[in-house]
Structure 1
């Protein structure tokens, strides 16, 4: 089993909170992780799948049954199928808190983000933490034998990336797409036509990485712009599509205000476009945008939660593929190139001049690192992910006094952390 970085986060949050809500697309590995976590605890945790009639029958008197599981982690999979349990969980958590048992009671698994977060926020506010689990990323493949290009082609869903062949991987992803349209769309949005959502999904794949144009999509689908918005909201809610917002600070210049849209998993993108092999991918016009989306998802996956991702585009041509901002300060500006010998575009330099980021990088398809002039560093995806992870750990372990002190010394340390390696 490929070790998932999120396991440590879930364990940490369970040590701090009564419950954790683990969100992620279907088939991403939530159940495998939860079962492993339940088995590793003493006493061994209890796993209940709310899609199984037998497990649901055990919860006929949920309050009595769950209260009879003292000091055990109870895993409730597909929790969105039993929203009535939230009130029961709130009462149990509050009673256990009053008795001095404050952490590690429940792990709730769900596939849709927005509805589940709203339900838990209303019923379990202050009692659960939310953790998002996404497909396997570059930092997790380690010694598994999976190479970056294979992860890019097949995507990060475990059954896809570990399939015996590219053909079997694509077949799995086709089934994955079909199951979402036949099962999940009717379940989470019964009023939305699954066929129209599927056509929109394909259209978003063809426009992967481009600015979102509701009117154009609506015209092609023969529906209204508000309907397109609802379809996209559903795909975003299911963690299958990302709307990357434009940077919205004040530059005194005309900024693009429309978001960019990406299919979050590269393998799902390629299945929507019927791309089976690496050769076919590299010869396809989507190769550049696909690599861009792949890099963006991987970098966001390891970045500090306090960093807000966006992109920059101005009417005068300044453009930055990915901007990370914290508290109004632009931390990182990132340009993405598939080439192993990239050059810095004029638009990227203009964007860096406008935003004055703390560090600027060009992520390329090779493994080397070198300075490109003007405080821009060429770097591989895996190397930049490691730097972002190191910075995140440094910030988490840094004393509060250092964080709040600020000043020139702190700025010098931060700058050194991301300076080019000579």
Structure 2
């Protein structure tokens, strides 16, 4: 078992909120986490993909009222959107009786739908927590390259060998395309969406050019936008927005696009081993995305993530703005002797960041010129956690 950092956050939210929604892509470990929590307190678990469990909720208020002294865990809750209205009544009744926390744990894999449905109905009664795949701070330094290659989905990371891991990820992609996405409603041909997802992997860490993608797919720009929204909604793709606070500069306005899990990126591109990865042109962009996901996962709640690029060539890979602080400027290099370009220093002159950091794949932290700190990923992640 991999010890997940999010467990203590989830337990804390359950102790302070009536309902908690745990969001994350399928197979990321939400159910395992919920069942661990259930062992520590009175609880019942219902899987809403099971006909038997859905039948129990034919009269939800009658059934759930019998278990008002327990934590009720509802898995794949987006399958029964009408349930939120009943949950509101049960939460309010329990509050009047003096029980104000730990009533419901809702697990879901489609974030926008779930946020919209629960936010409208359970406003002020629900807290949200996103569960990421395993990140670079949850494994030892010696396992970091394996995590980068295989990605953070537990079954892929812990597979017997690289071949088994790649096969799991290919099956995961196929299941999403052929079963999970059609269940959410969109009528998108699986092969078209696979081509789109693969194009995003090829353009990992690149600026979004919807017109080019639309031409390649033979669709219009609005269709590309809807495909992208879907993959972002499913927490499979990240749209990293550009920094926009500096109005005196001409800044790039297109977002950067990342396939969030490095293992899924590699599976889409047919990369199955560390040797293949290091010899592939995508290696640098894949490493950048891997580092960005780990640092965003480690950053405190309320942190905003952006990149910075001006028309004059000033550029920073990642800006993390922690609550109430100036941004941290982070450059990511896949080199043991990282060299910074002039664009990074120009961007720092524009932004005057609180910290200037270079992430590299080495093991030591050391200072560089112009107040830059060169750090391994684990050290930067621990700094953000602290």
TM-score category by the smaller chain?
A: over 0.9
Distance in 2 between the 1:333 and 1:117 partners?
Answer: 31
State the Cα distance separating 1:193 from its structure 2 match. 2.8
Distance in 1 between the 2:355 and 2:80 partners?
Answer: 46
Q: What is the match of residue 254 of structure 1? A: 250
State the Cα distance separating 1:99 from its structure 2 match. 0.8
Q: What is the match of residue 317 of structure 2? A: 321
Q: 2:152 aligns with which of 127, 139, 156?
A: 156
Q: 1:383 aligns with which of 368, 379, 384?
A: 379
Q: 2:118 aligns with which of 120, 134, 158?
A: 120
Q: Is residue 89 from structure 1 mapped to residue 87 from structure 2 by the alignment?
A: yes
Q: Indicate how the Cα distance of structure 1 residues 124 and 172 shifts in structure 2: closer, same or farther if over 3 A, else same.
A: same
How many equivalent residue pairs? Answer: 386
Distance in 2 between the 1:250 and 1:298 partners?
Answer: 27
Normalising to structure 1: TM-score of the pair?
Answer: 0.90
State the Cα distance separating 1:325 from its structure 2 match. 2.1
Q: What is the match of residue 420 of structure 1? A: none
What are the within-5 Å matches in structure 2 for residues 15-414 of structure 1? 15-41=15-41, 43=42, 45-142=43-140, 147-326=143-322, 330-390=326-386
Moved more, 230-239 or 133-142: 133-142
Normalising to structure 2: TM-score of the pair?
Answer: 0.98
Distance in 1 between the 2:326 and 2:282 partners?
Answer: 29
Q: What is the match of residue 413 of structure 1? A: none
State the Cα distance separating 1:71 from its structure 2 match. 1.8
Q: What secondary structure sits across from 1:22 in the alignment?
A: strand
Kindly indicate whether the alpha-carbon contact (under 8 Å) linking 2:137 and 2:381 is maintained by their aligned counterparts in 1. Answer: yes
Distance in 2 between the 1:334 and 1:141 partners?
Answer: 22
| Structure 1: runs of 5 or more not aligned | 391-422
Distance in 2 between the 1:82 and 1:57 partners?
Answer: 11
| Structure 2: runs of 5 or more not aligned | none
The structure 1 segments of at least 4 consecutive aligned residues displaced by more than 4 Å after TM superposition are 326-329
Q: What is the match of residue 12 of structure 2? A: 12
Kindly indicate whether the alpha-carbon contact (under 8 Å) linking 2:299 and 2:385 is maintained by their aligned counterparts in 1. Answer: yes
State the Cα distance separating 1:305 from its structure 2 match. 1.9
Distance in 2 between the 1:73 and 1:314 partners?
Answer: 50
Q: What secondary structure sits across from 1:290 in the alignment?
A: helix
The one-character-per-residue Cα deviations of 1:359-418 (angstroms, maximum 9, x if unpaired) are 01000011111111111010000000000001xxxxxxxxxxxxxxxxxxxxxxxxxxxx
Q: What secondary structure sits across from 2:363 in the alignment?
A: coil
Q: Indicate how the Cα distance of structure 1 residues 187 and 68 shifts in structure 2: closer, same or farther if over 3 A, else same.
A: same
Q: What secondary structure sits across from 2:37 in the alignment?
A: helix
State the Cα distance separating 1:146 from its structure 2 match. 6.3
Distance in 2 between the 1:34 and 1:239 partners?
Answer: 19
**Which is bigger in relative contact order (C-alpha 8 A, separation at least 6)?**
2
Distance in 2 between the 1:362 and 1:129 partners?
Answer: 34
Moved more, 78-87 or 172-181: 78-87
